[in-house]
């Protein structure tokens, strides 16, 4: 894990995987190690909900049900965030894009340079539900969890094919200790 920062600085990364795969945890540690911003639409939305902004009031019920908030909301948030100066030195997107329309909007925002790699975190379905229910977040009711998995399979998982076609996908086994999974990610990124 030496020189992770030097090797991965400046990369534009995306972490993709089903809810409960540990994307948020891995994204947090990886971004700390590399020194790039962690751009999580889920975190941004939860912040709006907590501050009771107009956007937060619109998103709250949708999030509690496990559905996706409208594309234009998250696209606008990400566009604004990627435009900030710290993102010029690379970033890691977590939880965005989740739909084909979001992926196409991201292409437009990034232009010719595009993403450098898409980390796909793989965890078996049984393990996911167990992990999410242990996490105990307010949108983690059993019904919402089941819905989030359905939405993931129908809307987000097809993006793996989309990025496979571009040769960007780096898959890792998401089962194991945080450090183990992190080492696998760093390994597939070539650092």
Active site residues: 23, 98, 135, 137, 148
Order of all β-strands in the sheet with 169-173: 38-40, 91-94, 12-16, 117-122, 169-173
Q: Rounded to whole angstroms, how far apart are CA atoms 154 and 98?
A: 10
The 11-50 site mask, x for binding ligand AMP (CB under 6 A), equals --------x---------------------xx--x-----
Q: Which of 40, 64, 159 is nearest to 107 (CA)?
A: 159
Which one among 91, 96, 152, 163 touches ligand AMP, defined by CB under 6 A? Answer: 96
Q: Rounded to whole angstroms, how far apart are CA atoms 172 and 121?
A: 5
Q: Give the nearest distance from C-beta 100 to ligand AMP in angstroms.
A: 12
Q: Which of residues 58-87 bind ligand AMP (CB under 6 A)?
A: 62-63, 66-69, 74
Distances (CA, A) of 166 to 105, 110, 159: 16, 15, 11
Q: Give the nearest distance from C-beta 3 to ligand AMP in angstroms.
A: 30
Task: Give contact residues for ligand AMP (rule: CB under 6 A).
Answer: 19, 41-42, 45, 62-63, 66-69, 74, 95-96, 98, 102, 148
């Amino acid at each position: 894990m030496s020189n992770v920062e030097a090797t991965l600085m400046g990369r534009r990364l995306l972490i993709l995987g089903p809810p409960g795969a540990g994307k948020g945890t891995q994204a947090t540690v990886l971004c700390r190690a590399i020194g790039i911003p962690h751009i999580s639409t889920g975190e941004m939305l939860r912040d709006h909900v907590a501050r009771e902004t107009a956007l937060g009031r619109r998103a709250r019920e949708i999030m509690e049900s496990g559905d996706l908030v409208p594309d234009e909301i998250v696209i606008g948030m990400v566009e604004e965030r990627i435009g900030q100066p710290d993102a010029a030195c690379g970033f890691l997107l977590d939880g965005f894009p989740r739909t084909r329309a979001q992926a196409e909007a991201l292409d437009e925002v990034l232009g010719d340079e595009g993403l450098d790699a898409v980390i796909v975190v793989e965890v078996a379905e049984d393990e996911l539900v167990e992990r999410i229910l242990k996490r105990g977040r307010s949108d983690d009711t059993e019904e919402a969890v089941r819905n989030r998995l359905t939405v993931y399979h129908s809307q987000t998982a097809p993006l793996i094919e989309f990025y496979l076609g571009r040769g960007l996908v780096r898959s890792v086994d998401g089962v194991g200790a945080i450090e183990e999974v992190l080492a696998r990610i760093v390994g597939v990124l070539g650092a």
